[in-house]
Amino acid sequence: MKKIGIMTTGGDCSGLNTAVQRLYRAASLRGWRVFGILDGTDGLCTTPPKVIEFNEETLPIESARLAGSFLHNGHANALNFETAVEHGKIEKFNQKLRESLLELKLDAIVLIGGNGSLSLAWCNKEIYNGLQLVCIPKTIDMDIPLTDKTIGFDTAVQQLTSFCDQLMMTARSHHRWFVVQTMGRDCGQLALNAGIAIGANAILIPEIKFDTDSLISHIKKSFIDYGIILVSEGISLRGHSGRPADMISRKLTAAGIVNRTAFPEHTQRAGDTVASDRILATRMADCAINAIENNETYVMTAIKDSKCITVGLNEFFNAGEISDDPRIPGVQTSDAFVSPENPLLQIAVNMGIYIGETK
């Protein structure tokens, strides 16, 4: 009988609980014991490690749709890979994680994490020697290379869409514009997809250079005098510091365009998990359990050409490099960022959405 552990690390997003519940279901049907590590690596640093054993009641099926992580994602100021490096304690930290994993006598661990967590798992891979490590990619940023989908993204797009839908009524009532700042770090996928969904008037993302004067003239030429300008948190404006939405708002005000800013913040990571994320979480959980059964290790589940497969963590790590984009001077790129060939960009242009200087 196998013993497997599950942990959720990095920022939360909706869909984590579905993945955890489905992992438990698939593993228990094989007669395996399933343990949840609480608080991610934080829980492994505690003596004894913070662990619960799953049973049918631990995470009831009706709760698997809820946002957040039933296993928690760790405390704000906890010792983690980054702070351990900062304080010169990485060897001690890694040793403690390894000891805890040995103490738990796990055969495999499923790590549900984002870009940072998966990269750190690969860079500190010796911690997992002797047990199987299978990762499941989750993030609202959708910035993980080698997979077409990440758990949490679709729900975040829905959350952002609903947030903007609400603002649109006030925008119309007051003949005013809302500059909405989205999450997404350096990746514009979330803003681009939600922007198309709501019919934004403009979408500014880090991957595409934009010109403020062109944006202003686009808004002024608009058929209507209200709407939404979506601004991804990763954009920058030469000579300006502070929140990107504030910078854009000030420019619009100076040009006589009445506007307000709005910040959906962590509501983008909340909300009941939408059906497509639940299906994705189920597919990835199934794939992860099959991978454990097939003795795979140091792999990540991924969606490629509509199929759920595993890819090596080494491949993921090598593909994730962020470099200067040779096609656009001054802009950085990675395999996971919005590429200039993304069909949604041209569709946005065709729909009269200002998306930046795409040509």
In the complex, what is the shortest distance from the CB of residue 12 to ligand F6P, in angstroms, rounded to a whole number?
Answer: 8
Whichever of 161 and 290 has its CB closer to ligand F6P, that residue is: 161
Whichever of 235 and 292 has its CB closer to ligand F6P, that residue is: 235
Residue 177: helix, strand or coil by DSSP? strand
Cβ pair 69, 117 in contact under 8 A: no
Whichever of 194 and 257 has its CB closer to ligand F6P, that residue is: 194
Half-sphere exposure of 116 (CA within 13 A, CB side): 11
Tell which one of 112, 127, 180, 183 touches ligand F6P (CB under 6 A): 183
- 74 scored as a contact of ligand F6P (CB under 6 A): no
Tell which one of 36, 40, 114, 320 touches ligand F6P (CB under 6 A): 114
Tokens (6 digits) for 110: 């499923």
**Total Cβ atoms within 10 A of residue 238:** 6
Stretch 140-169 residues interacting with ligand F6P (CB under 6 A): 140-141
Note if 141 is an active site residue: yes
- 138 scored as a contact of ligand F6P (CB under 6 A): no
Tokens (6 digits) for 194: 């939600």
- The whole-angstrom separation of Cα 105 and Cα 95 is 15
Q: For 201, phi and psi rounded to 5 degrees?
A: -85, -30
In the set 42, 141, 143, 154, the catalytic residue is 141
Which of 187, 186, 241, 237 is closest to 215 using CA atoms?
237
Only segment of 100-108, 183-191, 290-298, 317-325 that touches ligand F6P (CB under 6 A) = 183-191
Which position has the token pair 């992992």?
Answer: 23
H-helix or E-strand containing 133?
Answer: strand 132-137
β-pair type (3-8, 227-232): unpaired
Tell which one of 14, 117, 139, 155 touches ligand F6P (CB under 6 A): 139
Residue closest to ligand F6P when measured from CB atoms: 183
In the complex, what is the shortest distance from the CB of residue 268 to ligand F6P, in angstroms, rounded to a whole number?
Answer: 7
* Site for ligand F6P, rule CB under 6 A: 11, 114, 139-141, 183-185, 233, 269
